[in-house]
Every structure is written in structure tokens, then in C-alpha cells.
Structure 1
């Protein structure tokens, strides 16, 4: 069970938007990319996909940018992963075997499977906004960069 780089970036950026944007405060791809240390062109392509999948929202024009609407905030991390990679990647064998399930288990299937289900459950059951609130409440960080300076445009 591994996440692609694209999914990791999409999750980080959605959590960043949940913490720092609103329907009245939109953020550019460039600011988000710099804030979470992700290549801007790559993130721009991801954002097109996330907007099409209704995971994030965008507005064009001088006050445009990206943000999470109330509806977007209710999406889960699993929705992000499904939009970017599909869910097949999450169901892959831990050891990379092509056939691995309860009937044809790999040597570590029954050790890994409960943890995988627990992680998937958390990704499915928690909304993006709940994850963002937990990040803030517990003092976790998405990046080590100075977010306040980047979002204020200094």
C-alpha cells in the first residue's frame, strides 16, 4: 500500500487549502507550491484534476485562485486518492505480489491487512476539514516554511 507522489501532493495541498483558504480568500498555485515545497507546474496539473473531480474549487480573474468550498471540505482523503490514482493502488499487495488476498495470501498478508484497513477507514471516515482542524489543534505542520509570509504575499 503506497501513495503516488501525485496523491501525496494532492493531499498536502488540500489540507493546506483547508487551513489557509476560504471562499473569500483564494490562493494561487504558485503560493501553495512554494508553501508545501512542490513543483508548481506539477501542482497546476493536479489542481485541474482535483477541480474536475470537485475536490477543490477555483475562481479565475484578478482575485482568483483555489479554495475549498463547504462542499469540498466534506470530501475525504480517500476521495482525493481515488481522484488522483484510483483505489487499486491502495489494495496492492504489501510485498508487490500480483495475486494476494485472503484466499491467496502473501507471507505478510494477515499482518499487514488489519493496519491497511485501519488506515483506509481513517482516510474514508474523516473529512478534509476534520484532518485540517486536527493538524492545527495538535500543532502538526504541513511544511517547515513560513506560511504566514507566503499567504500574505510578502
Structure 2
């Protein structure tokens, strides 16, 4: 459903939120190790998310990535839009360019409901809300 880049972005953002709950800043190496992702790839992804103010960063020996109260309220939909664009929320289920209400593809009407449900779930899901479940080990980011 998401591109690999978007999957890494979401996982990295949740990992950073978990670590920065106590004011910690986390470096690229720790993030990459924590979510089992390539370092160089995570660095590029976080650079883009930082440009959009979805995550904060500080350079230097005590630097790293972190969330404050505002950035922790970013939704998963914000991340998806930044990395993958709006296609998930508005695109055709079959990938057709001309799919619309007046010219629907064979799955248009059912897929529209699925798409709306996914968008609603991603809009409600805030980065900062996943930390409790991770700490309680009810959810995980890697095996």
C-alpha cells in the first residue's frame, strides 16, 4: 500500500517519537538500527520530513532528530502526503488516469469507500500516540 520509502518514514517517525518522549535526540545510526533500515536512505527521508517540519533536528555532537509537542501531533497522513503524495487518497484502484465519478473504473465505487476509510484512519493516527503501546510491548517496530 505504501512505498518502501513511506514505510521507512513512518517507522522512523514513530521510533523518534518514542525516543524523544524523554527529551532524547536520536541519530541516524540509532534510527536505522532501531527500525532495520539502511542509514543513507533514512538520512534522505528524514531530511525531507525535517524540511516539512514534521520532525525536528539539531546538528552537532549532541544533535539528532526529535519531536516536540507540535511535531508529535503529525498524522500518518501528513507523512504519506510528504513522501508518496496524494495518490493513495485520490488515485484509481486500478491505476487508471481517467477514473472518476462520471467515468468510473470497474472497482471505483467500492474502492472509493476503502480509500476514504484508509484516509480517515491515517488522519486520526498521530505519531505521538504510538509510544505507549511500544513501551508496553503491545506493538513493535522490528523483530
Q: Same fold (TM over 0.5)?
A: yes
SS in 2 for 1:101: coil
What is the total number of aligned residue pairs between the two structures?
A: 143
Partner of 1:16: 15
Partner of 2:120: 121
| Distance (Å, rounded) in 1 between the aligned partners of 2:32 and 2:11 | 10
Partner of 1:35: 34
> Where does structure 2 lack aligned partners over 5 or more consecutive residues?
none
Mark the CA change 1:131 to 1:113 in structure 2 (over 3 Å): closer, same or farther.
farther
TM-score (norm 2): 0.89
1:108 aligns with 2:112: no
Contact kept, 8 Å, 1:23 with 1:67, in 2: the verdict is no
RMSD of aligned alpha carbons: 1.9
| Distance (Å, rounded) in 1 between the aligned partners of 2:96 and 2:33 | 37
Contact kept, 8 Å, 2:88 with 2:115, in 1: the verdict is no
| Distance (Å, rounded) in 2 between the aligned partners of 1:94 and 1:136 | 36
- For residues 79-104 of structure 1, what are the alpha-carbon distances to aligned partners after superposition, in whole Å with 9 as ceiling and x for unaligned? 11122222134422111111212222
| Distance (Å, rounded) in 2 between the aligned partners of 1:132 and 1:115 | 27
Mark the CA change 1:137 to 1:117 in structure 2 (over 3 Å): closer, same or farther.
farther
Partner of 1:64: 63
1:95 aligns with 2:103: no
SS in 1 for 2:70: helix
Contact kept, 8 Å, 1:29 with 1:43, in 2: the verdict is yes
> Where does structure 1 lack aligned partners over 5 or more consecutive residues?
145-154
Contact kept, 8 Å, 2:28 with 2:39, in 1: the verdict is yes
